[in-house]
Amino acid sequence: MKKFNIKLLFVLLASCFMACDEFLDVNSNPNSPIGDNLPLSAKLPGALVSITNQEVLQLNQIGAFWGGYWGTNNEGINQFFDLKTYNGQNIRSQREGIPVWENGYNNILYFRLIQDEAESTGQLFYAGTSKIMQGMMFLRLVDMYNNIPFDDAAKGSEVINPAYESGQVVYQKAVNLISEGIEDVKASGTIPSNHGDVLFQGNKSLWAKFGNTLKLRALIRQSEKNETQYVNAEIQKIITEGSGFLMAGELAAVNPGYMNTNGKMNPFWAAYYRDVQGNTTANYQSIRPTIYLLEQYQSKNDPRLERLYVPVEGSYRGVIFGNSEAGNPIYERNTTSAFRGPSENNNQATGIFHNWNQSSVILSDFESLFLQAEAVHRGWIAGDVSQLYQQAIARSFDYTKVPEASLSGYLAQSAVALADAQNPLERIIEQKWLALNSISSIEAWNDFRRLGVPNYPATAASGITGRPLRLMYPETERGTNLEQVEAQGSDRMLQDKVWWMP
């Protein structure tokens, strides 16, 4: 694991936050490290923005390609090549790879530093929120790599070679850390108006619900393992705590005050839709929905389809993930369906693109409702599974700007109604998959690795057998902690499972 200069990290953290000027009004001494001068109310939003950017950009992108949503047109054949060909060696490259590990542990360290300061000064709100976010990131890293450091993590030069722990143990410790965070937040006093909480605006109840929803996601993840006693005990802890889960209208979404200037727009908008001048981005020009995705929307007469994508000559046309027929003109830029946004919708918000200042979703209310629906279906919690399922779809419709009048007819279809499903769990996951498209795509890949649903095609790139089951440990880690890396086993992306996979 990389060693970090803590003061430098807070400089970087502060610069991330200062991208949104209106939230930071600190006259700091230029001769003193900025991290020493900033209050926790200025450090928390920077850390939240950093972890949000990793969620909506890096992790969402991996999930979108490996979760069955995205491919590229002919003109984009050379883009995202490593993701489309499952090239683990290049993905873990220090120079040109995808730094999931590095960004993840950076974010853990940001929150650990906030936690340490908050505990030393008795500021329980900041200690609690930091623990919840650390727990979330540890869970993410296990999902991506399996065994990782926990106890020795984020200690800088204090621990030169952090010891790895099993993914299952880290999961349990991360869940406990989130529980501690919930209790700290609840025990904190009055939250000042200048709290800097760009996630829940100082709402302690929502922080507790968010923490419980993260824990429910972690428990659902291990549903196919024989962990009944552990799961039941943790569910009972959530019930006893009493705050419940995120419900309809309660999104975990960060907005630090995005502005229509370079580097300050909503990051997903700026990466996949339009720049400050209104020009389409390279990603927008090359990324296209898979044929399989479009077929699933069409087979269910799903009104989200027309809100998400632009038709070509009256029909929706996707691509093959892996570009196996890149020479075929039907997969060119002008003959395939691009994302639909305001510029393609009479300047009205639609689909996943609403405005350059839209909030960045970490965990949506519809994902939470689908998680609860599955938990009720499994008999873990009390509730009406059909009602939760329908509420989840309704919230997805609302997010993608589908008129409310379309909902009842959609839900009544035999291909959608939960009561008509031969396998209710598969139907819940299928609808969850349709709802999380390009919003929390990493959860689609996670659900597929857990249940194999929906059974979207693997890459069509030639010479590849299998699907990615995890990421390989990065070169940065192999270069500094090789003994621990090699102790974890073969490190094969297409063969080695994460602990919770069946």
The Cα–Cα gap between 340 and 351 comes to 7
Angle at 260 between CA 259 and CA 263, to 5 degrees: 75
> Which tokens go with 198?
């760009």
Statement: residue 27 has pLDDT above 90: no
Statement: residue 8 has pLDDT above 60: no
* Residue 118, H or E segment: helix 100-121
Residue 189 to residues 125, 135, 184, Cα–Cα distance (Å): 8, 23, 10
Write down how long the chain is.
502
- pLDDT-derived band at 490 (thresholds 50, 70, 90) equals very high
Fill in the DSSP letter of residue 455: -
The Cα–Cα gap between 287 and 268 comes to 13
pLDDT at 15: 43
Tell me the residue ranges of DSSP E strands in 191-281.
Answer: 252-254
In which residue are the tokens 């039941």 written? 232
- For every residue of 135-164, DSSP letters joined together read HHHHHHHHHHHSSEESTTTT-GGG-SSPPE
CATH number 1.25.40.390 is the correct assignment for the domain at 1-77+86-246+469-502 = yes
- pLDDT-derived band at 36 (thresholds 50, 70, 90) equals low
Cβ proximity of 243 and 209 under 8 Å:
yes
Cβ proximity of 133 and 26 under 8 Å:
no
pLDDT average, residue stretch 479-484? 97
Largest CA distance in the chain: 68
pLDDT average, residue stretch 248-260? 98
- pLDDT-derived band at 321 (thresholds 50, 70, 90) equals very high
Fill in the DSSP letter of residue 340: P
Statement: residue 264 has pLDDT above 90: yes
Torsional sign, CA 123, 125, 127, 130: negative
pLDDT at 5: 43
- pLDDT-derived band at 430 (thresholds 50, 70, 90) equals very high
pLDDT average, residue stretch 265-280? 98
Statement: residue 26 has pLDDT above 80: no
* Residue 298, H or E segment: helix 291-299
pLDDT in tens, 101-120: 999 999 999 999 999 999 99
Statement: residue 124 has pLDDT above 50: yes
Q: Please name the fold of domain 296-350+364-439.
A: Four Helix Bundle (Hemerythrin (Met), subunit A) (1.20.120)
pLDDT at 29: 33
CB half-sphere exposure, 482, CA atoms < 13 A: 3
Give domain limits for the chain.
1-77+86-246+469-502, 296-350+364-439
The Cα–Cα gap between 356 and 348 comes to 12
Residue 1 to residues 347, 378, 440, Cα–Cα distance (Å): 46, 39, 27
pLDDT at 19: 36
pLDDT at 283: 98
pLDDT at 41: 97
Cis amide bond preceding 454, omega within 30: yes
What phi-psi label fits residue 339: left (phi over 0), alpha (psi between -120 and 50 degrees) or beta?
beta
The Cα–Cα gap between 259 and 79 comes to 28
pLDDT at 35: 55
Measuring CA to CA, which residue among 133, 290, 150 is closest to residue 199?
Answer: 133
